[in-house]
Amino acid sequence: MPLPLPPLEAQTRIISIIGALDDRIILLRETNATLEAIAQALFKSWFIDFEPVKAKAEGREPEGMDADTAALFPSEFGDSELGPIPKGWGINPLKSLTVKIGSGATPRGGKEVYLDDGVALIRSQNVYRVVPDAKSL
C-alpha cells in the first residue's frame, strides 16, 4: 500500500524542528532539576538548619537574602520540645493551622505502601486555607 510522504527536504526540516524541541525539553528538565535542588537547599538552610537565625545570633548578616527577608528571622533561639528553634516560632500540628487537609493522588504501589507510623507526606496543594489567626497559635 503506497504511503504518501512529504518531500525529503520537508522531512529534513521536520526532523530538525523535532530535534530542536527535544533539545529544549532536555534543557528545561535539567533547569527544573537545578531549580528544585536550589529550592531544597534553601528550605533546609532556612527552616531545618536555621542558618539565617544562627548568622544573626552571631552578629552577621544572613547570606543570600535582602534586608527585608532577613528581618523576618529572629536573632536568637528558644527552647522547644524538639530542641532549639528560632525564638518566637512555635510547634503546631498542621491541622491546627488550616481548615482542611485534602487527599492527593495515591502513591505508586497503592495501599500496600501506606505506613501506620512515621511522617506523613502532604503536598501543599492539599492544604486548604490557613486559619486566619494561625499566627497567634
Is the pLDDT at 42 greater than 50? The verdict is yes
Does one domain contain both 40 and 57? Answer: no
Whether residue 99 lies inside any domain: the answer is yes
Q: List the one residue out of 104, 101, 103 whose CA is nearest residue 128.
A: 101
Does one domain contain both 96 and 107? Answer: yes
What is the rounded CA–CA span in Å between residue 71 and residue 52?
10
Residue 130 dihedral angles phi and psi, to the nearest 5°? -70, 140
Exposure string of 90-120, with b = 16+ CB inside 10 Å and e = fewer, is: eeeeeeebbeeeeeeeeeeeeeeeeeeeeee
Whether residue 2 lies inside any domain: the answer is no
Which range of residues forms the domain containing residue 21?
12-45
Task: Give the number of domains in the chain.
Answer: 3
What is the rounded CA–CA span in Å between residue 86 and residue 76?
6
pTM for this entry: 0.65
The string of pLDDT tens digits covering residues 65-122 is 999 999 999 999 999 999 999 999 999 888 888 888 776 666 677 777 777 777 667 7
Does one domain contain both 96 and 137? Answer: yes
pLDDT above 90 coverage of the chain, percent: 63
Does one domain contain both 82 and 96? Answer: no
